[in-house]
Structure 1
């Protein structure tokens, strides 16, 4: 797997508090030919200064002067990536040792792979906001596209961008993101993968997720209005994913 080039794509915004620990856990995993593509979304704290002080040549930083939101920032990072396999990363988690090898192997099977994750600290799995049960992916369910898409639509699918990897040939299908996509870029990628043939589920956790008040995504249930708006968005994404899947198959 050392001949595969991996790009780690990260969107940062006022992430100074936890960013160094996250980058340390990433860089120790990577090979010399890999890269970390960081797009900063006009941070007002010391994030850019921290990144500028990193001497590792694998780290590439692109600082924006205006804020565009995390979805567009991740999209830019993906578009700047040059690796064979692209791994998404949040700015405040910690990678589990062996993540690179697990996700590279999984993307040899499917264009998109998603792993489980555990909470930083006690190592417990996240709980489903819908059922309250452990929120876990099973490898055998990866090809079950209808089931997985239904769980996305009802809000019970534990697909997190910070635990996902994408093969390079899939980026031309996934980007540009739909113009109305303002949240849940990870669910867009999972939805598109389902439309195009399914995604690989990696049962081993590859991320220790840090929960704090500034998380871009929350595990708390949404209010009724927000939940309905989210369902409408997911239905639009499913329709768009099917259009792109048909276009991909014709090509």
Structure 2
């Protein structure tokens, strides 16, 4: 069983296009979990219309505490052997689920993957042909604690990882960084070179490709991450 988790908030402009790209790729026993954080536009009506036609869509009222808590809540509801994260404004390419599940089956010791993405604008025109190349994406705990490259829009993980992911600390910079570092600390993350997502950038994105935070704020985030990982006993202190 596959669980796809979407955290929505005022996503009326692009959400339907994302749903149309995801639903044909999942099977009749899979689930698409949508947690909404208090949308006041047409997002809820779009979700309701699709939910009436497709019982695989499971809608939840989110906690109303921002994108990290909203994704955490969606992940908590997931029941799948494999969990995919999806942004409300992207587009999945048709072979995404098939390629990622095949990779997991071929590599049973890998708990988390990130696949490459094409960075596009509002109209899906290409800005950068490869997120991996643009961001110089590399695996490994040290590399990503210094400068995170784990991206939720290209992320999928085994459901067994949830027991270590949850709860997500409230002082980490983003949910995808926390999840990626947990897998990286155990050397159980991998990269898939195929470009499987159109990663849309526009004025209302909830996340940034390159953070605008100060060096001091970035240092505070990383210290908080390390302390949280030690507290979760992901990192061992001798």
| Normalised-by-shorter TM-score class | 0.7 to 0.9
- Show the counterpart of 1:210: 200
- Show the counterpart of 2:100: 103
- Show the counterpart of 1:145: none
8 Å contact 2:82–2:156 — kept in the other structure? yes
- In structure 2, relative to structure 1, the CA distance for the partners of 1:107 and 1:149 (3 Å cut) is same
Separation in 2, partners of 1:150, 1:200:
15
1:241 aligns with 2:237: no
Match of 2:188, SS state, is coil
Match of 2:134, SS state, is coil
CA RMSD of the aligned region, Å? Answer: 2.3
Match of 1:28, SS state, is helix
Q: CA offset at residue 49 of structure 1?
A: 1.0
- In structure 2, relative to structure 1, the CA distance for the partners of 1:81 and 1:28 (3 Å cut) is same
8 Å contact 2:113–2:190 — kept in the other structure? yes
2:26 to 20, 25, 30: 30
Per the normalisation by structure 1, the TM-score is 0.82
- Show the counterpart of 2:39: 43
8 Å contact 1:192–1:242 — kept in the other structure? no
8 Å contact 1:116–1:136 — kept in the other structure? no
1:89 to 76, 86, 90: 86
Q: 1:32-89 CA deviation, whole Å, 9 max, x = no partner?
A: 111100000011111011100111111111124x621010000000000011100000
Q: CA offset at residue 125 of structure 1?
A: 3.4
1:228 aligns with 2:216: yes
- In structure 2, relative to structure 1, the CA distance for the partners of 1:221 and 1:83 (3 Å cut) is closer
- Show the counterpart of 2:58: 60
8 Å contact 2:182–2:234 — kept in the other structure? no
Q: 1:86-140 CA deviation, whole Å, 9 max, x = no partner?
A: 0000000000121112222333421111111112322733669xxxx62254xxx
Separation in 2, partners of 1:10, 1:205:
20
8 Å contact 2:72–2:167 — kept in the other structure? yes
Q: Which moved more, 1:9-18 or 1:210-219?
A: 210-219
Structure 1 stretches lacking a partner, 5+ long: 143-147
- Show the counterpart of 2:10: 14
- In structure 2, relative to structure 1, the CA distance for the partners of 1:106 and 1:238 (3 Å cut) is farther
1:201 aligns with 2:191: yes
- In structure 2, relative to structure 1, the CA distance for the partners of 1:196 and 1:239 (3 Å cut) is farther
Structure 2 stretches lacking a partner, 5+ long: none
